[in-house]
A = this chain, B = another copy of it.
Amino acid sequence: MPRKPTLSVAIVGVGLVGSELISQLLALPAPSPFRLVSLTSSKYTLFAAAGLPVDAGSWATALSASRAAPDLHALLEQLAGLEAAVLVDNTSAQDVAALYPRFLARGIHVVTPNKKAFSGSQELYDAIERASAESGARWLNESTVGAGLPVVQTLKDLVATGDKVKKIEGVFSGTMSYIFNNFSTASAGGPSFSSVVRVAREKGYTEPHPADDLNGADVARKLAILARSIPTLQSALPEGYASVQTRSLVPAALESVANGTEFVEKLPEFDAEFEKLREEALKEGSVLRFVGVVDVENNLVKADLQKYPTTHPFATSLGGSDNIIMFHSERYSPRPLIVQGAGAGAAVTAMGVMSDLLKLVL
């Protein structure tokens, strides 16, 4: 049984998720199958082929003491010279994502919670697939959907073992989950839509500008990632998330409001519209949920506000800012395979990244 070589890890992006990942990586029991060889922030970078001489308490200081500016092209050459290496991209940057094919082509694995590369143009996605197939380097992105929840791998396993996925349906946005779990319940009345959004923003559950959640793009990106893991849908979304049929909850009149605080101040003007939707749903014995659907049989991928009976798991079982994802397949039929839990947060996102790293050294 040949032992695997130690995997050299280069981490790009040391914000909330990146810092948490570094903690988890450095806390592994010895002998670790990993060697941390590089750290890159927006300002600085560090590299040492033999491993950075840092620990959980010292990496941040060491990084900010570096005089080297970030240079991903140099990093690519540095990693390509190592026996086995992985690029971990904890940014949400398109320009980092655009480099994945070049890293993969040089035999460097890519692990990331960054949705950009897999939910954008078909061209980039195909280049990633091709580079990986040619070099044998792998890309893993469990944390792009549901953070640490086993969603992407579960779908891959269903597909790889020959199951036929019929439909994936779920609440994929923690923000949307929180908003509608609080706005639309089985009881009449309740807080106004704008007040729920305001509170969500105050709690840090939304982006600084809530429109960045309410426009549905985050859900559409996750759907694009899942859809592309299903053979018959691999090329169904040429523009990625932009090809997903997406309902934006941003009132048309507020689309040009560039400031989050101003947006929240003006949102009450539209409460009556949301109130009407809530009442209509309740009259049918339903609640409103913002869901994502990958309907394989009908070739339809959509992010939409939909009604669910108050007895449906999306109504009964959801709480907080939970994600819930239902996989309907030939094997999991008539009852679906369900995964549920927190779908956002640094610790659980980093956990998804870390579990991908562990797959590479199994």
Contact = CB atoms under 8 A, between A and B. Distances in A.
Interface of A: 1-3, 23-24, 27-28, 84, 107, 135-138, 148-150, 153-154, 157-158, 160-163, 311, 313, 316-317, 319-320, 322, 327, 331-332, 334-342, 345, 347-348, 350-351, 354-355, 358-360, 362
Contacts of A320: 334-335
A162 B148 CA distance: 13
A150 B153 contact: yes
A163 B355 CA distance: 12
A311 B317 CA distance: 9
Given A335-B342, A358-B157, A362-B360, A136 B317 contact: no
In this complex, the member of A24, A335, A350 whose beta carbon has the largest number of chain B beta carbons within 10 angstroms is: A335
A27 B157 CA distance: 14
A315 to B, nearest CB: 9
Contacts of A351: 157-158, 161, 163, 331
Contacts of A157: 148, 150, 351, 354-355, 358
19 contacts: A1-B84, A2-B136, A23-B162, A157-B351, A161-B350, A163-B347, A163-B351, A313-B316, A316-B316, A320-B335, A332-B348, A335-B342, A336-B341, A337-B342, A338-B340, A338-B341, A340-B340, A359-B362, A360-B362
A24 B161 contact: yes
Contact of A24 (B148, B162, B332): B162
Contacts of A327: 341
A347 B319 CA distance: 32
A358 B358 CA distance: 14
A31 B311 CA distance: 46
Contacts of A355: 157, 160-161
In this complex, the member of A148, A154, A161, A317 whose beta carbon has the largest number of chain B beta carbons within 10 angstroms is: A161
Contact of A348 (B28, B135, B149, B331): B331
Given A137-B1, A158-B351, A150 B339 contact: yes
A60 B222 CA distance: 43
Contacts of A1: 84, 107, 135-137
A121 to B, nearest CB: 25
A164 to B, nearest CB: 11
A319 B337 CA distance: 12
A313 to B, nearest CB: 5
B160 A358 contact: yes
A87 B136 CA distance: 25
Nearest to A85: B1
In this complex, the member of A23, A311, A317, A319 whose beta carbon has the largest number of chain B beta carbons within 10 angstroms is: A317
Nearest to A361: B362
A293 to B, nearest CB: 18
A267 to B, nearest CB: 27
Nearest to A231: B29
A317 B313 contact: yes
Contacts of A316: 311, 313, 316-317
Contacts of A137: 1
Given A150-B153, A316-B317, A317-B317, A332 B342 contact: yes
A84 B2 CA distance: 9
Given A2-B136, A336-B341, A338-B338, 8 more contacts: A24-B162, A138-B362, A148-B157, A332-B341, A335-B341, A337-B341, A338-B340, A338-B341
